[in-house]
Every structure is written in structure tokens, then in C-alpha cells.
Structure 1
Amino acid sequence: MADPQVIKLTAGTGRIYEMPGMRAIFKADEAETKEAYSVSEWWLDARQTGPGAHSHETNDEVFYGIGGVMAVRAGEEWHDIAPGDFLRIPAGTIHDFENRTYARAGLLNFFIPGGFERNMPAIVDWFKENG
């Protein structure tokens, strides 16, 4: 495990994962945070669905609006998240996100504890195969 370090990235940079209509940009992950959390941006094109309903049994997630308006599901309720809006989703809660608008939208995601980034190559492959 690498020693903690200051990380400074310019807008749009990081470890980028492209999926149809969706882009994830990881800013910090388990290697840089001693597995405490990961931070990523998620950008969806206009009228684009997200990853689909799912849950993480041992991980909390925080979503923070950074662009446009994203619809985020937490349990059975959908919330519109605009820039500056905050939503915490506890471990075990079914959640999803999608862009229902006609403009690109983005969320900053904190995944606690870290490790989600390990799944990204398989997620990218799934979206390539399934659209």
C-alpha cells in the first residue's frame, strides 16, 4: 500500500472508464486512501440510464451533484440531484441513477470503504457487450 499523498487533478482528469452514454472518472481509490474510500465522477449523456438498480452490502455511498440534474434512486424513492445537492445512501440500500434531462449531468461519488474501482474493467466490458 502506497503512503498517503496529496492528489491534485485538473478537471476531467483521473482514471477514465468509458461506457455507452456514461463516463466514470476515478480521482482517488483504495491504493491512495489505504482502502478507506474511493472518489469518482459519473457523467451521463442526456436521456441516459445508469448502472441499473443494485446495492452494496458493506459500503455506504455519497452522491453530490456537480452538473445538470441527475435522478438518483435510494430505496423506492427517486431524488433529483442538482449541483450542490447531497445524498447519502447507507449500505444495503438499493440505488440507481439516470439522467432524465436533455443535458449532460454529473455526480461526484464517495464509496466508503474503498475498493469499488476493482470492478470497473468488468463493468466496462458488460456495458460494451450489453449496451
Structure 2
Amino acid sequence: MIHKQNKADTLFLKAGEGREYNCGNMKAVFKADENETANQYSISEWWLAPQTPGPGAHQHEDHDEVFYGIEGVTSILVGNNWLSLEKGDFLRIPAKTIHDFENRTNEKAGVLNFFIPGGFEKNMPAIVKWFEENG
């Protein structure tokens, strides 16, 4: 997807703004990706309703992921261990590491996600479709 801004432009979004992708009880809001970052990274918020499972355990062959807690508590699987990511907590997951995330609490949870290098956003239409068909 080509966006109006490119890497040379200042990009300013107010709270709640961005490209939304609804995945059942999970919502992604992409803030910057593709031509906006020259595919060097993508940045998105992931919001999970209470008691919401995540995408399932997976790994990325060539991409690191960074998670930063912005609301509530998100449980994140890293390898064989589950961590509790709270507001203000930071986590980097290197490429080739099995991981997952979910909300095991009765409160809404949110994380800011950095995907390095970029390109993950290209998967979002297929992910949304999967949740529509299987969610």
C-alpha cells in the first residue's frame, strides 16, 4: 500500500489515528510503514480486549520485534517463557524466536510494536480475512 507521506516527510498522528485492522477481539492500528519508512520498520499499536488470545505462537525469520506496554498487562511468550508486559515495560524479541501475545486479564491491554525491518503490514489484509472466517 502506498501512503501519501514518505520517509522524508514529518509524520504526525493524533491519538487513535492510523490504519485500523480488526482481528476479532484484537485491533491493530498502524502508525508508520512501507514508503513512510522506506520499509526499514513498521510501527503499530495492538489492542486486546479482556481475555483475548493473540495470533498464536510464531516466529519471523528475518525480523526483530519490539513491544512497549502502553496500557494494561499483556502476556507475551518468548521461547518457552511467558512474560507480563505492563505499561512502560520494554521487550525486544530477536528474529527466529518463537513468540506470541495475549491478554489474560479482565482489562483492555495495549502494546506499541516495532517490526524491524518493515514489511509486516503487507500481511494485515490476509490476517483480517482469517479472523473474519475463523474468529
TM range (shorter): over 0.9
Q: Which consecutive segments of 4 or more residues in structure 1 shift more than 4 A?
A: none
TM-score, normalising length from structure 1?
0.97
Alignment pair present for 1:53 and 2:51: no
Cα drift, residue 31 of structure 1: 1.2
8 Å Cα contact 1:37/1:112 also seen in 2: yes
Aligned-residue sequence identity (percent) comes to: 61
Aligned residues: 131
Alignment pair present for 1:65 and 2:69: yes
Gaps of 5+ in 1: none
Cα drift, residue 19 of structure 1: 1.5
Alignment pair present for 1:26 and 2:23: no
Report the aligned-residue RMSD.
1.0
> In structure 1, what is the equivalent of residue 92 of structure 2?
88
Tell me the SS of whatever aligns to 1:122: helix
8 Å Cα contact 1:22/1:45 also seen in 2: yes
State the one-letter code of the partner of 2:113.
N
State the one-letter code of the partner of 2:77.
R
1:24-80 alpha-carbon deviations (Å, 9 max, x no partner): 000000210111100000000000001110000000000000000000111111110
Gaps of 5+ in 2: none
Match for 1:8 among 1, 7, 12? 12
> In structure 2, what is the equivalent of residue 98 of structure 1?
102
Alignment pair present for 1:77 and 2:76: no
Cα drift, residue 3 of structure 1: 4.3
Tell me the SS of whatever aligns to 2:10: coil
State the distance in 2 between where 1:21 and 1:3 align. Answer: 32
Match for 1:42 among 37, 46, 50? 46
